[in-house]
Amino acid sequence: MPPFIRLETSADHARSEALTRAAFWNIYQPGCHEHHYLHQLRAHPAFRPDLTFVCEEEGELAGVIACSSSHIALDGGGRLDTVTFGPLAVHPHFQKRGLARALVCHALRAARDAGEHAAVILGDPRHYGRYGFWCGERFGISMENGQFLPGLQAVELRPGALSNAAGRFHEGFPYAPDEAALAAFDAAFPPLEPAVTPSQEEFRFMCSLGHEVIPNGFM
């Protein structure tokens, strides 16, 4: 049976944050920031509550995908509004059952139905190609600082939406760590031990793969 997916409500907030913390803990760094980002995102103007979904399994909140507005500042002038998701989290107890797949597909379809043209995210390229994402570089989309990163992933929600979208990607919500605020926020959760893990090294390597484009290549 497909998982039950619905919009997140305020009654879900604490459980969404707890499952996000459980999912991200020690994966990309010792501890994690993502449950705090999720909390902060909901109070940010870029937040898209109409595109933020949870899924339930066995009567429990098992996963969440939170969306926000973002845009590409086009090289040719003007901007293309885009949608971004993150955090995307599935509680470890419910992973590897297709819940992330169901949440991503549901959110992208809902974004398309809401009139969005394209989604741009920062995530593991090994994970997102299966949903139709390409590296932003394919469309000429770089980070705000002009770097092309494999983790900058873009997908058209309408055919051709990114065919003239070369430019710089701007997140609507700044995923910027605030250690003091995080520590205060995290204190309300059950204690967990931060640890160094191999997945953090892998993530650092992935983040180091960015590059700038030299105009005219090697010529």
Kindly list the residues in this chain that would bind ligand COA in the complex (CB under 6 A). Answer: 23-24, 27, 88-90, 95-101, 123-124, 126-127
Using the minimum distance from each CB to ligand COA, give the nearer residue, 67 or 100. 100
Q: Give min distance, CB of 61 to ligand COA, in A.
A: 13
Whole-angstrom Cα distance, residue 8 to residue 64?
8
Joined tokens for residue 40: 């902060």
Q: Give min distance, CB of 155 to ligand COA, in A.
A: 14
Q: Give min distance, CB of 125 to ligand COA, in A.
A: 9
Whole-angstrom Cα distance, residue 56 to residue 4?
5
Q: Tell me the residue ranges of DSSP E strands in 136-193.
A: 141-142, 152-156, 167-171
Using the minimum distance from each CB to ligand COA, give the nearer residue, 27 or 46. 27
Using the minimum distance from each CB to ligand COA, give the nearer residue, 106 or 160. 106
Written as one letter, the residue type at 118 is: A
Using the minimum distance from each CB to ligand COA, give the nearer residue, 78 or 174. 174
Using the minimum distance from each CB to ligand COA, give the nearer residue, 123 or 137. 123
Bridge partner residues of 191 (DSSP)? none
Q: Give min distance, CB of 24 to ligand COA, in A.
A: 5
Question: If DSSP states are collapsed to H, E and C, what string results for 57-121?
Answer: ECCEEEEEEEEEEEEEEECCCCEEEEEEEEEEEECHHHCCCCHHHHHHHHHHHHHHHCCCCEEEE
Joined tokens for residue 112: 């398309």
What lies within 8 Å, CB to CB, of 215 at 6+ separation is none
Q: Give min distance, CB of 130 to ligand COA, in A.
A: 7
